A = this chain, B = another copy of it.
Amino acid sequence: MPAKGVLDVAELSNLVSESVERLRRDKPLVQCLTNIVVANFTANVLLAAGAVPAMVDNPQESEGFASAADGVLVNTGTPYRETAEAMVVAARGAVTSNTPWVLDPVGVGMPWRTQVALDALHVGAPAVIRANASEVLTLAGADASARGPEAGDTVEDALTSAVQLVRDHNCVVSISGPVDHILDADRHVTVSSGHEWMTRVTGVGCSLGALTAAFAGVQNDHLIAAASATAMLCVAAERAVERSAGPGAFAQALIDELFLVSPDEVGERGGFRDVTA
């Protein structure tokens, strides 16, 4: 393990490559409580990467399933009364049984789902909060220019709020943007791979949340897990863009490349930097 606050980038690349190998070998079972828009794409991202998705999102089964799963995703993209209830229940099952869970607080800022996200956080700490800048700001109680799921704030605007979320919940915060920032109490890394088209297809961000839960199921260092998920998706996206005429082709090629990309390439092309203060 790197010393506190000092990450060696070559070592980080190696840890990421190893995590990708482990994902494909161990095929973690990932319970997803996610939205109706991206459920299909998310399942296909997980399958292509090497994980096993299970979209169990009703209140009757969510707690028990979370105990058995390797990772749990709670995504607030299209909450309904019943699935919102299941999200809190699943978080409880995860916390009780030490299953790592990931919060992807899509669209918080709208009042009702903000409460759902806070209720889930109240149950116990997630392994990772994966969000865009506006959602990080909102979740930390700061002002955000909420304009639906497309964030209007920059990652840099959200860093102070991210530090606060890390402190309040003792978790990793992973902020998506042109450059992704991933931080915990001691470390802060950035991932500069990826492509603008990742925002031109619905569900890429949401599937990053799911992939983060998958990696958290095979990698106990959750900052490495979040970095691995981000790099795997971003490197696959770079490869996919090279052979895509438009966002339709890109969405499909992204699934292919998650299946095809090698662990070494993910580590090497990830574009990691240590920016620990």
Contacts and interface: CB of A to CB of B under 8 A. Distances in A.
Contacts of A41: 40
Interface in A74-95: 77-83
Interface in A37-81: 37-41, 43-44, 47-48, 52-58, 60-61, 64-65, 68-69, 77-81
Given A55-B77, A78-B57, A47 B254 contact: no
Given A110-B65, A246-B255, A80 B56 contact: no
Interface stretch (A11-19, A142-150, A183-191, A212-220): A142-150
Interface residues of A, number: 62
Contacts of A150: 52, 54
A2 interface: no
B112 A48 contact: no
Contact of A40 (B81, B82, B147, B202): B202
A61 B113 CA distance: 8
Contacts of A148: 29, 31, 52-54, 56, 65, 69
B249 A202 contact: no
A180 interface: no
Query: How many subunits of this chain does the assembly comprise?
Result: 3
Contacts of A253: 248-249
B47 A202 contact: yes
Contacts of A36: 36, 39, 55
A201 interface: yes
Interface of A: 29, 31, 35-41, 43-44, 47-48, 52-58, 60-61, 64-65, 68-69, 77-83, 107, 110-113, 147-150, 200-203, 244-249, 251-260
